[in-house]
Amino acid sequence: MSRTTPAFTIAARRVLVAGGFDEASVSIVDGVIAAIRPFDPDADVVLPDDTVLLPGLVDSHVHLDEPGRTEWEGFATGTAAAAAGGVTTLFDMPLNSVPVTTTPEALAAKRAAAAGKLAVDVGYWGGAVPENLGSLADLAAAGVVGFKCFLSPSGIDQFGHLDADQLEAALAEIATFDGVLIVHAEDPAHLHGDGALGVHYADFLATRPPMSEQAAIEQVIEASRRTGGRAHIVHVSDGGALDAVRAAKADGVRLTVETCPHYLTLAAEDVPDGAGAFKCCPPIRDRANQDLLWVGVLDGTIDAIVSDHSPSTRELKEQGGGDFGLAWGGIAGLQTGLAAIWTAAAGRGIPLERVLPLMTEGPARIAGQPGLGEIAVGAPAHLAVFAPDRAWTVDAAELEYRNKLSPWHGQTLTGRVERTYLAGHEVFRLGEGVGVRAGAEILHTLRPTGAER
């Protein structure tokens, strides 16, 4: 559909502009923010005083699983969940789709599967696996925003993990075109306990100790230091690993890191027996560790908070009668991320404007899309209307996911997305769902390095 919309103005008593809240009117022309002016009570849309106008969230870590595993999620349901959660731009991971996105042909298949289904804007990560090292530039030229790799088995046979030499080779290759390698950092030497483990979460947690993350992150740091390649660590769950990240950043290593709402808001002590909805890798750890992650959020060590939305069917989540060793690992969190983070942040006395950039501008920069995730003249009119004081109880059956599972099911959260705008289109309204599918693809342009720039 056309992205052109009639010009209109939204006014609110609290608009997040330039890092703080202020009264303002935001004028939108052809899907772009054309002006930000003083509050106008006669604007086309005047928001209630109990809501705030936010930039649309950016989520750089989402598994939509299509093509090939649409029974797990899919572009239609996944982007609807994004819109309902205030996310206006997301970046899809190269697995668990079939085929995995490791060739230009596989990317073309994914793009074909997405056609006509997008409620929000979508970009694509490619994969770096042993078989395609040496040809990553071809995939970059096809439009992926960067490359995902694993340092331990991914759980998908078609997406193999990299050893130490292959990691260094990938970073060196990607550095030649100034790309980014995003890394699932767990060292297989410290992982154990394959197969059935039983229904107690502590038994699963013990199989993926903090040292597995620490060793892998240090390996990435040293490889990035030697090659000059840009690296990003996905879904950091171990707060103890952040000291190495701080030191590396201080040394000028090209490193960024993310964590996720489930690590910042859920604790190992509270995971019920047999609750496969809570299983992910790396795992949700204890409250003391969670406190360390929040320190990393506040001191700037953590660059982004993203969902790592990685759903599967109920059968895979509940196989083995709730055995944590057999359940598929992955959290469904795309729709509830903002509310979960705001509930936890508010409980710690942290203002919304302090955490929101980690869910907007931070992920945009990681995906190489600066300018997204802010309310500014010239930026896309991607906006979310958020009621920060509205309490609601999560009912998984009412979420937009294809499989109605959530580790936050039954929890009362504070803060609700009431409307979402994409390029000026109202794509979601609470109580009505997704109205139009105005989403577009984001294809990255390959940037040469050195004298070719």
Please give the Cα distance from 15 to 13 (Å, whole number). Answer: 7
Find, among 376, 384, 381, 374, the residue nearest to 29 by Cα. Answer: 381
Q: For the chain, how far is it from start to end, CA to CA, in angstroms?
A: 35
Strand pairing class (441-442; 32-37): unpaired
| Exposure on the CB side of residue 320, measured as CA atoms within 13 A | 19
What's the whole-model pTM score? 0.97
SS3 content of the chain, % helix, strand, coil (to 5): 30, 25, 45
Compute the chain's Rg from CA coordinates.
21
**Model pLDDT, residue 5:** 79
In the DSSP assignment, the letter for residue 397 is G
- Sheet holding 180-184: strands in order across? 126-127, 147-150, 180-184, 230-233, 255-259, 304-305
Please give the Cα distance from 405 to 400 (Å, whole number). Answer: 10
Tens place of pLDDT per residue across the chain (453 aa): 567 778 999 999 999 999 999 999 999 999 999 999 999 999 999 999 999 999 999 999 999 999 999 999 999 999 999 999 999 999 999 999 999 999 999 999 999 999 999 999 999 999 999 999 999 999 999 999 999 999 999 999 999 999 999 999 999 999 999 999 999 999 999 999 889 999 999 999 999 999 999 999 999 999 999 999 999 999 999 999 999 999 999 999 999 999 999 999 999 999 999 999 999 999 999 999 999 999 999 999 999 999 999 999 999 999 999 999 999 999 999 999 999 999 999 999 999 999 999 999 999 999 999 999 999 999 999 999 999 999 999 999 999 999 999 999 999 999 999 999 999 999 999 999 999 999 999 998 866 554 332
Q: Output the CA–CA distances (angstroms, integers) from residue 37 to 91, 178, 326, 442, in the order listed.
A: 32, 38, 56, 29
**Judging by beta carbons within 10 Å of its beta carbon (0-12, 13-18, 19+), is residue 292 exposed, middle or buried?**
middle
- DSSP assignment string, 141-197: HTT-S-EEEESS--S-TTSPPP-HHHHHHHHHHHHTTT-EEEEE---GGG----S--
> What is the 3-class SS of 280-335, one letter each residue?
CCCCCCCHHHHHHHHHHHHCCCCCEECCCECCCCHHHHHHHHHCCCCCCCCECCCC
| Exposure on the CB side of residue 169, measured as CA atoms within 13 A | 14
Q: Determine the residue type at 23.
A: E
